[in-house]
Chains A and B, each alone.
Chain A
C-alpha cells in the first residue's frame, strides 16, 4: 500500500484527512518533528491562523524538512487550504508574516467590503485551466468543491494559478502549482464528498510512481 505522509504540526483537524486517505486505499502516516518524511507524497493540511502555523513549522523544523522534500523532483507536496497558503511569500492575516516562500505571491483577505459575509463557506464551482503538467485534473473542471476560508492566495505569476473560483463575482485562486511537484487547493477535497475523494485519488495516482 502506498504511503502518504500527513504533516501533523498542531493546526486543525487532521483526523478527517487521515480517514479520507485511508478510505481511498492508501496508508496515511502522520509526520511530526520526531520521525522523517519517508514517502513520495506529502500533505500539508491546516486550519487556523497563518502566523501561528508558520511559528509551529519553524519551531518543529518542519519547514526545513519540506524544503529538502521538494528538492527531489519525484516527490509531491500537496497543501490544503491554509497549507496551500503557506507555500507563498507572505500573508497579511493578523499581521504580516513570512511564509515558506516556495511560490511567489501573497496571501490576502478575500474581501474588505463590510457587507460581505466571511468566512466564505460552501460548495462552489471550480474552473480548472488546461495545463501540460496537470492535464489529468481537467476532468474536474466545473465540479463543486467545499471551501471555508477568509483569505486567498494571489500568485505573482499567472502560470502558478491552475484553477479559479468566484467570490461575489471576483475570481480567486482555487489551485496553485509550482513546477510539477508542488500543488495546493484552497478547497478541502477530503470534505468534498465523492468528487473530492476522486480528486485526491487522481492527484496521488498521477503524481507519484
Chain B
C-alpha cells in the first residue's frame, strides 16, 4: 500500500490505542454488567455502597421517646399520637449533639395540612375534623387555643 493510505490509517490506529489506554485508566475496575445484566445492571458497583452511606436526617419517634418519654406518652394518649414527632418538630439529625435544639413548626399552615375542610368523599380526609380557615379564627395561631399534642378543647 502507498503512503497516503498508511499515514491516515496509522493516525487512526494511534488514536484508537490512545483511547483504549485512556479507558483502561479512566474506567474503574468495578464498572461492568452486574447482577441485572448488561441492559439494566451496567454500572459502577461501588456506587451502591455510596448510596447506602448517604446520611439519614430523620430518626423516628422511638428515638425521641428514648429521652422525652413524658412527652411521647402524653402524645400517644391523644388522637395526635399517630403523627410522628419529627413531622412538627423537624428532622432530628444527630440531636441532641447536632443540632442541640430543634425548630418546632407551630404554624397555622401546618395544622391546615390536615384540618382545612375539603370535601373528599373517597378519601380519609373526610373523617378528619376540618375547619374553613377563612372563617375559623382567621389570623390566630391554632396553638393559641389548642394543645398540639392533645388538641381537644374539652380535655384541656
| A and B assemble together | no
